[in-house]
Structure 1
Amino acid sequence: MQLYYHPISGHCHRAHLFLALLQADYELIEVDLKGREHKSDAFLKLNPFGQIPVLVDGETVIADSNAILVYLAKKFGRTDWLPEDAASAALVQRWLSVAAGQVAFGPAAARLITLFNAPFRPEEVIGRAHDILALMNSELASRPWIVGRNPTIADIALYSYVARAPEGGVDLSPYQSVGAWLKRVEDLPGFVPFVETPVASAA
């Protein structure tokens, strides 16, 4: 399998992290974002949306980070990471939606302002980040993982941008349960860290 990625993308990191945790056989292929390789004709044949990450598994091409998590869990039959019972699967899906919604437009967007001067309103996205962090903190106060007693792909989908929220000016110190959860993810066998950008030292 090949994962087309960039190391500073949290969407890419979640796919990379899950591949590593599964001990899958994969190759990382870095996409030159500054050179707009992701908008090239060759790349658009892989993903017409012109976005990373993209997973290529033989003749199968999967775009979108959360779709990649689902694909990998299904491919390797890992019902521990993606439960098959209806209620648990629905809970996982709810948090995948949070990762694509409140997290993407909260801590991830705040980080984009810092890194790339993205045209978001800081007070809006940082406020949204604190709202979802407070909710996650409440959920994690009563259990070790976001869905239950064991880690799932929901935890993987949420981890990267929450871990790097301080790079967007979002203080994690009020959220002790979130901090403990981040540490549990980082202690998983096979964990690969999400690269810290130069702004991390000032965060």
Structure 2
Amino acid sequence: MIRLYDYPLSGNCFKVRQMLSWLGLAWEPVAVDFHPGKAHKSSEFLANVNPRGQLPVIDDDGFMLRDAQAILVYLASRYDQENRWYPESPRLRGEIAMWLATADEITATASAARLHDAFGYALDVRSARAGAHALFRLMDDHLAERASAGQRWLVGEGADARPTIADLACFPYVALAPEGGIDLDAYPALRRWVRDVRHVSGFIGMPGIFVPLAPA
């Protein structure tokens, strides 16, 4: 069974929990006291789990893998028999890789601002917010152009296009951006995309990102 070193308030850990859920995989959480305990920086964690002192990490029958984006690629490549979440098309995989890199930038900006406001981390929050806004403007333009062509997701073409790991990788720290003092009002296409991801069947949510209510 897959073990996930997890923290409930982490957007990066949420990506993995959501992917495991969408793939229907059994898994076991290993709770890590990220805040306030900083257990991810303990000598035991650094020696035995992740020398970079970061979450998430998975243990799949002895195979240890760190980094949320890398874990999404691995899980989708190994367990998604339909190739839904990580399609085989070289073009789509190239585009997905581009958005996985963007997800890392979102973590370095929007997530950093959230760490400042919600967890008290000392960092340059103005720079983090400015960086997040620059990324969100680009994403909003991209999604608006795709919406004008009838496309809802970051990558994919045609009426049968579906969300991929690109959408999941970028999603949580966009949705959680207001917790870092980053207003999304100026990004209508981005907000529509956040709503669309939340309405994908099997969405599980996390604190701060709620599962939509079922219609009455």
TM > 0.5 fold call: yes
Aligned-partner SS, 2:29: strand
Q: 1:43 aligns with which of 42, 45, 67?
A: 45
The number of aligned residues is: 196
Moved more, 89-98 or 42-51: 42-51
- Counterpart in the other structure of 2:194: 182
Q: For residues 42 and 120 of structure 1, what CA distance do their matches in structure 2 show?
A: 26
Indicate yes or no: 2:73 matched with 1:70. Answer: yes
**In 2, Cα distance between equivalents of 1:100 and 1:49:** 15
**1:201 aligned residue:** none
Q: What is the aligned partner in structure 2 of residue 19 from structure 1? A: 20
In the aligned structure 1, how far is the partner of 2:115 from the partner of 2:40?
18
**Alignment partner of 1:193 is 2:198:** no
2-structure distance, mates of 1:137, 1:156: 16
Letter in 1 for 2:31: E
Structural mapping, 1:1-203, within 5 Å? 1-33=2-34, 34-44=36-46, 45-77=48-80, 78-101=82-105, 103-141=106-144, 142=146, 143-148=151-156, 149-196=161-208
Structure 2 letter corresponding to 1:125: A
State the identity as a percent. Answer: 37
Q: Deviations over 1:71-92 (max 9, x none)?
A: 1001113522112221110100
Paired with 1:47 and 1:105, the residues of 2 have a C-alpha distance of 19
Secondary structure class of the residue paired with 2:108: coil
Structure 2 unmatched ranges of 5 or more: 210-216
Please provide the CA RMSD for this pair.
1.6
Partner Cα distance (1:111, 1:46) in 2: 25
Structure with more contact order per residue of length (Cα contacts < 8 Å, sep ≥ 6) = 1
1:21–1:188 Cα contact (<8 Å) kept: no
Return the alpha-carbon distance in structure 1 between the equivalents of residues 29 and 186 of structure 2. Answer: 35
Residue 41 of structure 1 and its aligned partner are, at CA, apart by: 4.3
CA distance in 2, matches of 1:17, 1:150: 16
Greater displacement, 12-21 / 37-46: 37-46
Equivalent AA in structure 1 for residue 154 of structure 2: I
TM-score with structure 1 length normalisation? Answer: 0.90
For the Cα contact (< 8 Å) 1:4–1:31, is it kept in 2? yes
Structure 1 counterpart of 2:110, one-letter code: P
Q: Deviations over 1:2-46 (max 9, x none)?
A: 111101111111111111111211122210123332233443312
Distance 1:20 1:190 in 2: 7
